[in-house]
Amino acid sequence: MTLQQKELFQKSPLLLENGETLSPVLVGYETYGKLSESRDNCILLEHALTGTAHAAKHYEDDAPGWWDDYIGPGKTIDTDKYFLVCTNVFGGCSGTTGPSSINPKTGEPFRLQFPGFSIKDIIKVQRELLEQLGVTRIVSVIGGSMGGMQATEWAIDYADITDSIINIASPLAAGPDAIGYNLIMRMAILNDPDFNGGNYIGQPEGGLATARMVGMMTYRTSELFSKRFERFTVAESSPAAFSKEHFQIESYLQYQGDTFVERFDANSYLYLTKAIDLFDVTAPTKDDLPAFAKIKIPYLLIGITTDQLFRIHDLRRGYALLKDWDVPVTYHEVASEYGHDAFLVEKEVPKFEPLIRSFLSNLPVKSI
């Protein structure tokens, strides 16, 4: 079964954290496995910034998913045991309402008239979807990068139906360097002459491609780039000034930018990177306690020592804070030349899979 869609918040609008409302909201999602009769064997999988709901293949000839190595019969997320749900995030552009969706009030795309939203709002939409699907309990919410932020927010907002959290490579609040990178990427888009105040035709290709190239430099490591590209040049390339593809690293980044433009909406990129920047569960709530202090369910935190986006010192600080506030947290660090994206790399599965499998194996799940 491939991408499915549900229309939510038809009777009462979605109330966003900033006080704005939106109705209805269309959600794109994919499911794997079968919901048990007791409806309590669900795992919710959260994708990263530019991911989609297509986490794994549904059949042999299906397109590859972004976490195929972990999902399927007998795998880490055993679809003979669990009912897996993965949604395209609210504000995205792969099946869920976002800036490129049609505004029912105007008949035109929302563009920059789309309301600002937070990680809290993203998971609020997911919560409504799971209720519509009949899920009564969630075995675990699993996510990496921006997905880890969503998982953490689930532990705070919906612990009443959530049994555990697995957060891979995501801090309790974005650090200043990550916020800085996001600003540079947004400015590349905003300053593109084709951006046109968000009312572009097609895409602001140069700006969006540049944003993706900046992002790629933070998702991997300098060690990996040195090992893979060194100062190798492209065959029959020109060393002329300002050539885009003289060196192999230039060709690689240009390819990443060009292909990204074909699949992701520039306005969604603006909104989602801002939601990442604003995420901060260390900030005090109304009771003057940090938001994460409410977490009382098992929480697996995995840091990547070579991460150049969400630095390991931020993950270590997060672990120390969680432990100080008696959150039932388990922490592991993974070393990988692939850096931030290591959890998405097939070669690195043996480093992450045992940690996730062991954590899940200690959680009670009723038979289907």
Which residues are known to be catalytic? 145, 307, 340
Task: Please state the residue numbers annotated as binding site.
Answer: 212, 341
Task: Please state the residue numbers annotated as binding site for substrate.
Answer: 212, 341
Measured between alpha carbons, how far is residue 317 from residues 1, 83, 175, 301 in Å?
Answer: 41, 33, 11, 12
Q: What are the b/e assignments for 173-192, b being 16+ CB within 10 Å?
A: bbeeebeebbeebbebbeeb
Distance (Å, rounded) from C-alpha 66 to C-alpha 345?
9
CB of 305 closer than 8 Å to CB of 337: no
Is residue 314 classed as helix, strand or coil in its secondary structure? helix
Instruction: Give me the phi and psi of 60, to 5 degrees please.
Output: -55, -40
Question: Residue type at 213?
Answer: M
Residue 144: left (phi > 0), alpha (psi -120 to 50), or beta? beta
CB of 184 closer than 8 Å to CB of 199: no
Distance (Å, rounded) from C-alpha 141 to C-alpha 84?
10
CB of 83 closer than 8 Å to CB of 250: no
